[in-house]
């Protein structure tokens, strides 16, 4: 499933990041702590398709729909 589909307060592990994404974006995601094998938790989902809030790498981020749908995860709880 994609990161965008992760439910509120649920945790998951990143399995794949869309390779067709710009190299710079992938590098930035990795710097944020979002790379394959890393854990991510959904703090809250955005209302009406707005950015979702997630916790990863010890920080809290908001990420928009278009990017979150290109990250594959597998739920861990």
Partner 1 sequence: MQRILMVGKPNCGKSLLFNQLTGLRQKVANYPGITVEITRGKCDQFELVDLPGAYSLNGLTRDEVIAVEEIKRSVADDDTSMVLVVLDATRLAQSLVMGLQVQRLAFEHNKPVMFALNFIDEVKRVGETIDTDGLSKALGSPVMALSARSLDGLHEFKQSLLSMAGEPERYATTNGTPHAEAAERSQALAEDFGIQHDIVLKNQNRIDNFMLNNWTGGLIFIAVMFVLFQSIFTLATPLMDGVESFIETLAGGVGAVTAEGVVHDFINDAIFGGFGSFLVFVPQIMVLTLIIGLLEDSGYLARAALMCHRPLSFFGLSGRSFIPYLSGHACAIPAIMAARTIESPHKRLITMLTIPLMSCSARLPVYALLVAVLVPANETFLGIFNMQGAAFFGLYFFGIFMALVVSQILNRFLPRDLEKTDMPFILELPTYRLPHWKPLFQRVLNSGIMFIKRAGPIIFMVSVGIWILGYFPLNSTLQDSWLGQIGHFIEPVFTPMGLDWRYGVAILMSFLAREVFVGALGTLFGLEGADEDVAGLAERVQADGMTTEAGLGLMLFYVVALQCVATVAMLKGESGSSKLSWGLYVAYGLLAYIIAVAVNQIGGLL
Residue number, 33 or 72, with CB nearest to partner 1: 33
Residue number, 1 or 62, with CB nearest to partner 1: 62
- For residue 67 the two structure tokens come to 């990017």
In the complex, the smallest distance separating the C-beta of residue 74 from partner 1, rounded to whole angstroms, is: 19
* Using rule CB under 8 A, residue 63 touches partner 1: yes
Instruction: Identify whether the C-beta of residue 64 lies closer than 8 Å to the C-beta of residue 12.
Output: no
Q: Which residue has the tokens 């790498």?
A: 57
Give, in degrees to the nearest 5, the angle at Cα 71 between 11 and 22. 145
Q: Which residues bind partner 1 (CB under 8 A)?
A: 22, 24-25, 27-28, 30-33, 35, 38, 43-44, 46-51, 53, 55, 57-64, 66-67
């Amino acid at each position: 499933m994609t990161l965008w589909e992760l439910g509120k307060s649920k945790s998951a592990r990143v399995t794949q990041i869309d390779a067709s994404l710009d190299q710079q974006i992938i590098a930035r995601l990795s710097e944020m702590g979002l790379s394959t094998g890393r854990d991510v938790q959904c703090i809250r989902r955005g209302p009406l398709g707005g950015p979702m809030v997630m916790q990863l790498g010890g920080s809290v981020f908001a990420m928009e729909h278009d990017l979150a749908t290109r990250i594959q995860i597998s739920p861990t709880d």
